[in-house]
């Protein structure tokens, strides 16, 4: 278990941690793929969960021998994601967690491999309390590179020596590797991968959703 001291800050992935957005992204990928190739899209591979949209686009194109169309599919998917926006499902515990962090003046924010427009649309429609938000366009190297979480941490006014005291909530192996590479503490959310899989990737502890993580934090704070 983790030490009974509140972290200096909390960093969150978005898809699979804050929201369940498989339908939102899946619909956009499917309609963009259909428009571009006039074909039905193949199933999404779990191995690509949390990876950047460009990597996912390259995968889909490779399944039909159209690797040179990856960037075109990536851009079209982003258009469809915005034009045919589907509000993702809010996962349990998000509002309780952010209300607590705001009350305690603990810095927090989002670093996602999703696009900025999707993050903005989702946060607005769900009325979420996140003001510091980074998407895939904000990094030269998306996750699993640590740049995303380092960028967010610095925006929250943390220095390199603070990184070891930051919790990062992640549901994917890609994001967990990014948090670990940044020298932060990965915390697993088991919406996609099992407790064993996330801990093998580097998660210090796992929770089903942020609600259980919030209750854990409150209990630890009460017992201090």
**Helix 70-83, helix 53-62: angle, nearest 10:** 120
- Rounded distance, CA 117 to CA 195, Å? 31
1 in a structural domain? no
Single out the residue of 190, 194, 182 nearest to residue 210, CA to CA.
190
126 in a structural domain? yes
Instruction: Tell me the residue range of the domain where 67 lies.
Output: 22-83
pLDDT at 81: 84
pLDDT at 220: 75
Residues 127, 183, single domain; the answer is yes
Residues 131, 196, single domain; the answer is yes
pLDDT at 224: 61
pLDDT at 2: 60
What's this model's pTM, rounded to 2 decimal places? Answer: 0.84
What's the structural domain count of the chain? 2
pLDDT at 16: 95
Residues 32, 16, single domain; the answer is no
Among residues 36, 62, 83, the one where a domain terminates is 83
Residues 56, 113, single domain; the answer is no
Residues 26, 36, single domain; the answer is yes
pLDDT at 83: 84
pLDDT at 1: 53
125 in a structural domain? yes
User: At residue 39, what are phi and psi to the nearest 5 degrees?
Assistant: -135, 155
Among residues 62, 83, 104, the one where a domain terminates is 83
pLDDT at 40: 96
pLDDT at 93: 98
2 in a structural domain? no
Residues 217, 141, single domain; the answer is yes
Q: pLDDT averaged over consecutive 10-residue blocks of the chain (224 residues)?
A: 77 96 86 96 86 90 96 92 87 98 97 92 95 95 96 98 98 96 98 96 97 92 67
pLDDT at 198: 97
Residues 47, 104, single domain; the answer is no
Among residues 51, 67, 83, the one where a domain terminates is 83
User: What one-character-per-residue DSSP string does 96-143 give?
Assistant: HHHHHHHHTT--EEEE-SS-HHHHHHHHHHHT-----EE-GGG-SS-T
Single out the residue of 112, 108, 114, 150 nearest to residue 129, CA to CA.
108
């Amino acid at each position: 278990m983790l030490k009974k001291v509140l972290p200096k800050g909390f960093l969150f992935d978005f898809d699979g941690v804050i929201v369940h957005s498989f339908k939102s992204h899946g619909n956009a990928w499917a309609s963009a793929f259909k428009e571009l190739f006039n074909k039905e899209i193949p199933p999404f591979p779990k191995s690509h969960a949390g990876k950047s949209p460009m990597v996912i686009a390259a995968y889909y194109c490779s399944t039909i021998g159209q690797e040179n169309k990856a960037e075109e599919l990536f851009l079209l998917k982003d258009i469809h994601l915005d034009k045919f926006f589907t509000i993702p499902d809010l996962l349990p515990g998000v509002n309780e967690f952010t209300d607590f962090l705001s009350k305690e003046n603990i810095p927090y924010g989002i670093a996602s491999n999703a696009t900025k427009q999707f993050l903005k649309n989702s946060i607005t429609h769900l009325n979420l309390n996140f003001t510091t938000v980074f998407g895939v366009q904000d990094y030269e190297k998306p996750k699993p590179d640590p740049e995303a979480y380092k960028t967010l941490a610095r925006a929250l006014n943390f220095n390199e020596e603070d990184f070891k005291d930051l919790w990062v909530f992640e549901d994917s192996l890609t994001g967990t590797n990014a948090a670990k590479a940044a020298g932060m503490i990965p915390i697993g959310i088991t919406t996609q991968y099992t407790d064993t899989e996330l801990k093998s990737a580097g998660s210090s502890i796992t929770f089903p959703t942020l609600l259980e993580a919030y209750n854990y934090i409150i209990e630890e704070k009460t017992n201090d």
